[in-house]
Amino acid sequence: MQTHSASRASQLRTMRTHCVDRHAERHMGAWRDYLYLEGWMRADGACLPIRNAEALAHVIEHMPVRVFPEETLAGEHGNDHAMVNFRPRCGPEVVANARAAGLPEEKLADMERWLASDPFRWMELAPASAWPQPLRMAQDRGVVQVWGTDLNHSIRAYEKVIRLGFAGIRDEVDAAIAAVKPDDPQASARLANLAAFRRVADACAGLGHRYAAALPKGSALATMCTCVPEGPATTFAEAVQALWFAHMITVWEDGVNANGIGRIDQFLWPYLERDLDAGTITMEAAADVLAALWLKLYQPYDVQQMMVGGQLPDGSDAVNPLSHLVLDVTEAMGFVRCLSARLHNGSPRAFVSRCVDLVARGGGIPFYFNDEALVPALAERGVALEDARGYAAIGCIEITIPGKANPHAVSNWINLPKVLEVALHGGRDPRDGAQVGPVTKALKDCATFDDVMASYTEQLEHFARWAAYGSNAAEIAHRSQYRLPYLSLLTDDCIARGLDIIEGGARYNYHSSAAMGVPNAADSLVGLRDSVYADRRVTPDAMLEALQRNFADDEALRRYLWDRVPKYGNDADEPDRMAARLVEQYVDIMDRFTTPSNGRFFTHLFTFVLMLPMGKVVGATPDGRRSGEPLAYSVSPGQGRDRSGLTAVVRSLAALPHDRVAASSSAILEADPTLLEGAGRDAFVDLLQTAVRLKVGQLQFNVVSADTLRAAQADPDRYANLCVRVSGFSQRFNLLDREMQDHIIARTKHRER
């Protein structure tokens, strides 16, 4: 960024150093845990909504206030990597965390006593021991993973805090309380929820005043804190301060992980535009305000997602000067930011090109979401078109409708290569022979490829039913265990309905179900069809035996499957059509199920980092993959299989029905830095715009050579700031374990388009 003076740049570096140093201070997060538990115990005997509200309000009203002379933005959320997301399942962990953070011994004793006296509240959220045997067996063997929680993975209506202030939001709650009719059968429950919302809104309104009292009297920052977040913001600086206070409270209620900021360039731009028009701020000063926010948001594990670009509610382009300023500040600060950009056919080329400038620097940011795929996918599943155009990324690559939805992100996962393996063995897990799925034809009994597909389909339908069961059971269980009053306060239509978001109060309620290993399953099915049924190179019995022996003494067959059978990721018709078929099938199956809130299951094509552990539970597969090797990342080609350049990968990705994948897909493409040199930069922009036109749902890029990554393994200190795209997030390479480092190195580094 070229607008910073030398003195201001030096000040920012000092602030950055202080920020990084404070990452080691874990006691702030421990205080939050202590205060939450103290507030919870003080509200003993109250109903669940009130008890949760009192616990959070106690944190807001008593969290230690620290101010630093170099800062222009007040407050800190006190999060660290080990801070507990204070929900029932995590209760016992808070003492260990607090002890490690150095909380006084008498406070630790209090926490232990409180936990011992209230054991029910700290039980596991959805204990696996309570699941029916079919689901337990599927979970234990890595066929299915169930989460189902409402925790994290949200974007609150921060725009509402900026526009109304918490006093205005409190007025909205008061109006809803007054509107409750005594003859409403749910009146008492609604009033309890609304009282909880009001208690939290009242505590939030006072937060700025606590900081104002600690700041030098009459200072600009102290004055600002007396205005926000209690009242509406009137300037850009106030809007950013209100946003930060609101996000602090999010972290105090629900932790930092995957609780996003949202479309920052959209809800902050009106305030910056007004100040610019009035001549009360310059772009340089606005950059400084954003830089202060970036410092606050910085975390070693950084999935506090924010998004720029996209469309306005009427479908026109949403890029504005703040969109570009966000990119400039991100580049100038050099932090590993979780930043994404929305693109569509009408996105200005200058904006796309500026995004590519950042990608070329490495670190994997920004990453890209395609409105041409995701908006219709959301609209098809009942999201109003104007709301669908307002979607934003949550944490990694999950998406939601900010301030309007409970997305239950990655509610469950299904390991498709494991489903295929079980199908090839007649419903049994070959590792121990357990009948984990229904009895179907094993490979040796399949006379045709259609028989194979029928067995696979029956197994998938079975596991999908149990995955949906687990997600729904978790949603129901959570309603009796906790509430999220602050998230509810900032989610339409919880106040109007008098319902907590846990109870289905949001305008949109749905779960997302993630299909893992689509590329492996597609390549394996093509391998079976070609080698067993088309070319008859090997019998079904011989293929099954080769897989069970992990291709021992049959390397020729493995090499045939690996080298000769076409693979997804190379613009090859057979595997691409098979991958599309599997995705269409998955979407159709998940569309059959509904949730307790009468929502739907949105399909998600995402592995997170589970391609490593989920690969370990899958034996050798008919694509030439050996037992235990990693699965492909999300819908990226399997390691080393994309041999035809980036354009071919994009065309394979485009074969998938991304416009039906309403929870988002994900792909990481690896490019050697030489690909973006000189004229290659413009060609890369062309490629990205082509991907948008072809409706590829989501793309991320690593621009780093394998040689550089190997050098970083050998000398981590020298490459301490080398950042890479891991999954839906970026991280410093030297903080990853060796297995993940090796996995990233093994991904194809494309030198050709």
CA gap 386, 371 in Å, rounded:
12
CA gap 408, 602 in Å, rounded:
10
CA gap 250, 154 in Å, rounded:
10
In a domain, 172, yes or no: no
Q: Which residues of the chain have pLDDT under 50?
A: 1-4, 24, 80-89, 120, 122-125, 300
Q: Give residues with Cβ within 8 angstroms of 24, minimum separation 6.
A: none
Helices (H), 23-47: 27-42
Ramachandran region, residue 7 (left: φ > 0; alpha: ψ -120 to 50; beta: rest): alpha
Same domain assignment for residues 407 and 389: no
In a domain, 647, yes or no: no
Q: For position 26, what pLDDT does the model report?
A: 54
Query: How many domains are contained in the chain?
Result: 3
8 A C-beta contact, residue 491 and residue 157: yes
Same domain assignment for residues 545 and 498: yes
Same domain assignment for residues 611 and 525: yes
8 A C-beta contact, residue 692 and residue 370: yes
Q: Give residues with Cβ within 8 angstroms of 210, minimum separation 6.
A: 61, 65
Same domain assignment for residues 146 and 114: no
Tokens 């979607």 label which residue? 391
Query: Cis omega (within 30 of 0) on the bond before 366?
Result: yes
CA gap 703, 712 in Å, rounded:
15
Structure confidence by residue, pLDDT tens digits, 635-670: 999 988 999 988 999 999 999 999 999 999 999 998
Residue 367: name the closest of 636, 638, 79, 20 by CA.
Answer: 636
Please give the residue range of the domain that contains residue 94.
6-130
Same domain assignment for residues 364 and 411: no
Residue that finishes a domain, picked among 639, 658, 691: 639
Same domain assignment for residues 485 and 584: yes
Residue 576: name the closest of 611, 630, 641, 526 by CA.
Answer: 526
Residue 647 tokens, joined: 């354009």
Same domain assignment for residues 601 and 679: no
Helices (H), 409-537: 416-424, 449-479, 485-489, 494-497, 518-528
Residue 85 tokens, joined: 């997301």
Sequential DSSP letters for 583-596: HHHHHHHHTT-B-T
Q: For position 455, what pLDDT does the model report?
A: 99
Same domain assignment for residues 486 and 604: yes
Q: Measure the CA dihedral 557/563/568/571, to 10°.
A: -150
The CA distances from residue 153 to 256, 263, 303, 403, 527, in Å, are 9, 15, 10, 12, 38
8 A C-beta contact, residue 197 and residue 56: no
Same domain assignment for residues 66 and 93: yes
Q: For position 462, what pLDDT does the model report?
A: 99
Same domain assignment for residues 549 and 634: yes
